Structure 1
Amino acid sequence: MSSGEISLGERLNSSQLKSFAIKGLFGFKDIKSNFDKEALILIAENGAGKTTILNILYYSISCQFHKLSAIDFQSVVLKFASGDSVEIKKSDLPSFNKRDRRDVELSLLLWRSLNKEAGKTEETEETDKTDKTDEINKIKTTIKQNLNKSILYFPTYRRIEEDLKSLGYEENRFEQLVFGDREGKLIQFGMNDVSDKLDEIKTTIKNSALNLFSKVTGEILTQFVESKPITKEMRNSIKPDTLSIVLSRVGEENISLSDRQKIEQLVSTEEINSPQHDQLVYFLLKLVDLYEQQKEKDKSINQFAIVCNKYLNQKRIVYDEANVEISILQTRDNSPIDLKNLSSGEKQIISLFSKIYLESSEDFILFFDEPELSLSIEWQRMLLPDILKSGKCKLLLAATHSPFIFDNELDFNAHDLDTFVQER
C-alpha cells in the first residue's frame, strides 16, 4: 500500500445507511450500531442472535416487512445520511404476515363495500388498519428514496445445504434450486445460475458485436459519400492487439480469414498509414469504437477470473476475449472442468464473485452470514478484503465466529456482538 492510500479497514462508509437499532430483540435485548466504516464484522458464537440481526436488517432495508412478523422483536430504527430516519414497529405488521401490501389494500376495499352499514367499532378498526397501511407505505418510500443501491445477502452456505438434505433433496439436485425473492437478492446455491450467467454474458457480447458491426456498415457508406478526413490520431488509435480481438469477434461469416490476416499485416507494418487505405482506417476505427463500448463487460469478466484464480487449486478460469469463451481448466494439462465438479468451497467462491462482478453493474450493500463456512483458513483471510477491493461494495456487514475472517486488514473492523447489545 503506497503512502497516502487508505487501508481497507479505514475506508469510510459511503452508503446512505448510517446506523440501525433493534429494540426488544427476543423480548430483552436492545442492539444499536453506527456504520462509520465501510466494513463492520460482528463476532459471536452460535445462538447469540447474529443471524437474526442480519435478517432483521436485511428484511427492513429491502422492504420485506412481511418477513419481519415471524421474528421476536419490538421495532427497528434506520437512520440515513440525509437525516431521514424510520421506525418499523412489529405491532404495525400483523396484516403483513401472510399477505403483501396489495392483498391488504384489496381486503380494505372489500371491507368498505361489504360493511357500509357497519357500526362505529368496525369503522374504527378499518380506519386503524388503513392508517397502519399508509404508515408502512410511507416508511417503504423513505427507505427506497435513501437506499438506491443493490442489496445483496449471502446467508450461511452450509446451513442451506443441510436444510435441503433434511428435506430429502439429493445433493445432485441442489443445483436446480434457486434462493431469492422479488425484493432482494440472495446467493443462489449451485452452479446452474453461474453457468447461465456466463452464457448470457457471452451471448450478449457476441450479439452486440454483430449488431454494432451492422451499424458500422451504415456509417462506412456515409464516410464514402462525405469523405471525412482521416487524422493522425485516428490512425494511431488502431492497435494490433485490440484489432485482433475485434476482428475475431466479427466472425468469419462477415470477414474471411485471409482478409483479416491482410488487415493485421497492414497495421503491424504501418502500411495502413498510406492515404490509399483511408477508408479502411475509418472502418477499423469504428470497429475499435465497438470494442471500447463492450470493454466494461470484458473488464468485469477478467476481474472475476483473476480473483477466483487466487482460490482455485490446480485449476484456473480462462477468458478468451477474441472468441468470447470462458473456461475452467486443469493447470497440469489444460483439460476443461465442469463447474459442478468443483469442491464446495470453490463453488461458493465462484458463485459469490459472479454475483459481484458479473451480475451487479451497480454499487451494493452486502450482508454476509458466517462467510467462513466451507473455506480454508487462508481463503477466510482473503475473502472479505477481496470483496471490498472490487470497489463496488459500499457497506459490508458480516457475522462470524471465526478469527481468521478478520485476520487481515479488517482486524479493527471486527467487534464482539455484545459491544452493541444492552439487556433490559
Structure 2
Amino acid sequence: MQNEYFLEGSPAARPSLVQDFRIEGLYGYRTIGISSDFAATILIAKNGSGKTTLLGALDAFLKGQFGRLTKLQFTRIVCKLRDVDSPLIVTHDEIIESQIPPDDSFFKTSIARLALDPALIFDFIENDYRLARGDFSILQENEVYDSICQKYRWNMSDVRNLCDRLLKCSEGRNHNIDYVRSILESSLKDVQVVYLPTYRRIELPLNTNEGAASAPGAKKKSIQSRLGLTKRGLFDAEIRFGLSDISERLDQLNQMILRNSDEGYREISANIINELLSGAFETENPNPDERPSKDALELFFSRLRAGTRNIWFRGRDVVIPDIDKIYSGENLPPQSIKFLNYFLSKLNKVIKKTRDIELMVEEFIVNCNRYLAGEDASTILVEVEAESEYETIDPAELQFDFDGEDEDLHGLDSNYFEHESNDDKLLKLNREDLSVEVVSLATKRNVPLESLSSGEKQMISLFSRLYLYPGEKIILIDEPELSLSIDWQRKILPDIVNAPTSAQVIAITHSPFIFENELDPYARSLSLEINAPDQQRG
C-alpha cells in the first residue's frame, strides 16, 4: 500500500515486525485479521467485530502463552513475521494437546513437594516463567513463584534449577507448538510485547492494602488478583500500570546510578594509585576542558552522600571536596593542578555513563509534561461575533500566546499562561534521587499521584513503559482514545510511534481523531470474512 503519503524515513514507515496475523474459524464462522507492511498500523473497527479478541490473541501468540488461547473457539491461527520465511501456524487442537500437564516422574514428585495445584504450577512454568526469560524481577508479584521461593527458603539457585527442569518437562508434548515457540523466542528475543487493553484505565493507587498498613516483608498481591482477573484467560496480560510500579522503577534507576558512581569512583582511585606508583601519570597531559561541569560534579558527590543511607553503601563516608575552589582556581597549588585535572577527567567518564540513565528519566518527564501542562485547544469553546450571528471557531485552528516569567517547566516549549480555573500539573524531577513530584501549576503545591485523572494516569503509565524500560517494543493498544480529550487523541499515537523504543504499533480504534494526524495513511479497516460451513478447516 505504498504511495506518496508514506514519508520515507518516518518511524511509522519502517518495515513491520508482525506482517500478518489472522484467526481462522473464530466462533465457528468467521476469520479476522490484520496485515501491514509498516511499523504503524491503525485499524478501524465497529463494535462486535472481534477487535479486542484479535489483539488479546495476538498478545498471547507473540508471547508464546498458548494456554491463554485454550478457551477461545477457533480453527487455527496464522502469523507472518518479518525475516521468517514461512508463516507460523498453530491449530486449536495442537494448543489443547500442549496444555496437558506432563506425565513425568520428576514433575509429579515436584508437585507433591510443593503441595500446589498441578494446573497452577504448569500454568506458571508454561506461561509466566517461560516469558520471564531469566528475569526474576517480573515474577515478584506471582503467587506461585512466591510459594516456590518460600518452599526452597529463597535459595534462588535451587528455585531456578527446579523451574528450568519443570520447563524442560513441559516440552515435547506437541512438536509444532515447540517449533513455533522456538521461532518466536529467537525472532523476538530482544523485543517486548506491550499489550494495552481497554481495562487499562483501572488504575491502582500506590498503596492498596485494605484495612492495614504495609508491614515489612508483607507479600504484595499481584495486579491480576487486585483486579479480579483470571490467570488463564485471553486477556490476563501482564498489566503494569499501577503507579507504584513507576516509583519502583525510578528507584531502580537511581540505585543503578549510585552503584555505577560508587564503583567508578573507587576504580578511578585505585587506578590512579597504580599509575602514580608506576610513573605512568608523569606521561599524561590532562586537558582542563575534559573536566565535568561544576553542576555535574556537585550532583555526583551529593548523590554519593545521599547513597550512604542505602544498604549497599552503609558505613562509607563520602567527603565532598571544596568544589568552588576547584573551579575558581584560587589558592590551588600549581603542582596539584595537573593531578586534579587528570582525576576529574577520569571522573567525567563515569558521570557521562550515569547521565545516560538520567536522560531516560528526563525524556519521560518531558513527554508527560507535554500532556499534563500543555494547552489543550480541543477543550475550549470559543464563540466570536460574525455579522449579526455567532459562529463557532474550530479550536484546533486557534493560536495561543503565552505570557509569564521564564522558568523550567520540564518539557513545555513556551511559558504557560495560567487561567484562574486552570488545574494543569507538572512533573518535576529531583535529580539527586530521581524521585518525581506532581506540582499543581495553579497552587504551586505538590499533588498526590492518586489524584490525577484517568487520562493523566494513562499518559504517565504509558510513557513510563516507553522511556523507563530499555529495549524494542511492539505496542498493542485497544481503543487508545479512552479517557483522552480530542487534542490528546490526535497526539497520542504519533508520540508512541516516535518513541525511541517503539518497533511497531498496532492500534484498534473507534475514534477518527486518533488518526487525524500524520498517521492517517496508515489507517485501514479490520479484515473480516464470514465463512460458510464447508469452508471451515478440520
Q: What range describes the TM-score normalised by the shorter chain of this pair?
A: 0.7 to 0.9
Change (3 A) 1:378 1:274: farther
Question: For the Cα contact (< 8 Å) 1:344–1:374, is it kept in 2?
Answer: yes
CA-CA distance at 1:161 after TM superposition: 6.7
* Corresponding position of 2:251: 199
Match of 1:231, SS?
coil
CA-CA distance at 1:307 after TM superposition: 0.3
* Corresponding position of 1:320: 430
Change (3 A) 1:12 1:107: farther
Q: Counterparts of 1:272-291 in structure 2 under 5 Å?
A: 276-291=336-351
Match of 2:512, SS?
coil
CA-CA distance at 1:369 after TM superposition: 1.0
Change (3 A) 1:45 1:34: closer
Match of 1:138 among 166, 179, 189: 179
> Letter of the aligned partner of 2:93 in structure 1?
S
Mapped partners of 1:333, 1:223: distance in 2? 56
CA-CA distance at 1:422 after TM superposition: 1.7
Change (3 A) 1:337 1:264: farther
Between stretches 206-215 and 238-247, larger displacement belongs to: 238-247
Between stretches 140-149 and 209-218, larger displacement belongs to: 209-218
**Percent sequence identity over matched residues?**
30
> Letter of the aligned partner of 2:495 in structure 1?
D
> Letter of the aligned partner of 2:223 in structure 1?
V
Give a deviation string over 1:71-102, Cα, whole Å, max 9, x none: 121111112223143211001122455x5xxx
Change (3 A) 1:272 1:86: farther
Change (3 A) 1:130 1:366: closer
* Corresponding position of 1:423: 530
* Corresponding position of 1:380: 489
* Corresponding position of 2:199: 157
> Letter of the aligned partner of 1:278 in structure 2?
K
CA-CA distance at 1:275 after TM superposition: 5.9
Question: For the Cα contact (< 8 Å) 2:44–2:509, is it kept in 1?
Answer: yes
TM normalised by structure 1 equals: 0.80
CA-CA distance at 1:108 after TM superposition: 11
Give a deviation string over 1:89-143, Cα, whole Å, max 9, x none: 001122455x5xxx33538998xxxxxxxxxxxxxxxxxx997522211221121
* Corresponding position of 2:122: none
Change (3 A) 1:133 1:411: same
* Corresponding position of 1:230: 284
> Letter of the aligned partner of 1:90 in structure 2?
H
* Corresponding position of 1:246: 300
Q: Specify which structure has the bigger relative contact order, considering alpha-carbon pairs within 8 angstroms and separated by 6 or more residues.
A: 1
CA-CA distance at 1:60 after TM superposition: 0.8
- Aligned pair count reads 379
Question: For the Cα contact (< 8 Å) 2:291–2:344, is it kept in 1?
Answer: yes
* Corresponding position of 1:91: 93
CA-CA distance at 1:56 after TM superposition: 1.2
Q: Counterparts of 1:17-416 in structure 2 under 5 Å?
A: 17-80=18-81, 81-96=83-98, 103-104=101-102, 106=104, 133-148=174-189, 149-157=191-199, 160=202, 178-179=223-224, 186-225=238-277, 226-228=279-281, 229-231=283-285, 234-240=287-293, 241-251=295-305, 253-256=317-320, 259-266=322-329, 276-313=336-373, 314-322=424-432, 324-358=434-468, 360-416=469-525
Mapped partners of 2:302, 2:263: distance in 1? 15
Give a deviation string over 1:387-415, Cα, whole Å, max 9, x none: 11112111111111111111111111111
Question: For the Cα contact (< 8 Å) 1:363–1:393, is it kept in 2?
Answer: yes
Match of 1:319, SS?
strand
Mapped partners of 1:106, 1:407: distance in 2? 56
Question: For the Cα contact (< 8 Å) 1:248–1:322, is it kept in 2?
Answer: yes
Change (3 A) 1:82 1:94: closer
Change (3 A) 1:107 1:388: farther
> Letter of the aligned partner of 2:523 in structure 1?
A
Give a deviation string over 1:370-397, Cα, whole Å, max 9, x none: 1111111111111111111112111111
Mapped partners of 2:433, 2:334: distance in 1? 30
Mapped partners of 2:265, 2:425: distance in 1? 35
Change (3 A) 1:379 1:290: same
Change (3 A) 1:288 1:322: farther
> Letter of the aligned partner of 2:488 in structure 1?
W
CA-CA distance at 1:159 after TM superposition: 6.7
Cα root mean square deviation, aligned: 3.3
Question: For the Cα contact (< 8 Å) 1:158–1:373, is it kept in 2?
Answer: no
Between stretches 334-343 and 373-382, larger displacement belongs to: 334-343
Mapped partners of 2:54, 2:97: distance in 1? 22
Question: For the Cα contact (< 8 Å) 1:23–1:29, is it kept in 2?
Answer: yes
> Letter of the aligned partner of 1:251 in structure 2?
R
* Corresponding position of 1:121: none
Identify the structure with the greater helix proportion.
Answer: 1
> Letter of the aligned partner of 1:250 in structure 2?
L
Mapped partners of 1:380, 1:104: distance in 2? 48
Mapped partners of 1:161, 1:222: distance in 2? 54
> Letter of the aligned partner of 2:325 in structure 1?
K
CA-CA distance at 1:319 after TM superposition: 2.2
Mapped partners of 1:108, 1:224: distance in 2? 59
TM normalised by structure 2 equals: 0.64
CA-CA distance at 1:343 after TM superposition: 1.3
Q: Gaps spanning 5+ residues in structure 2: where?
A: 1-6, 109-169, 205-209, 215-219, 307-316, 374-423, 532-538
Question: For the Cα contact (< 8 Å) 2:200–2:239, is it kept in 1?
Answer: no
Change (3 A) 1:273 1:379: farther
Give a deviation string over 1:306-338, Cα, whole Å, max 9, x none: 000011142111223355443222224542222
Question: For the Cα contact (< 8 Å) 2:250–2:434, is it kept in 1?
Answer: no
Q: Gaps spanning 5+ residues in structure 1: where?
A: 111-128, 163-168
Match of 1:394, SS?
strand
Mapped partners of 1:130, 1:284: distance in 2? 55
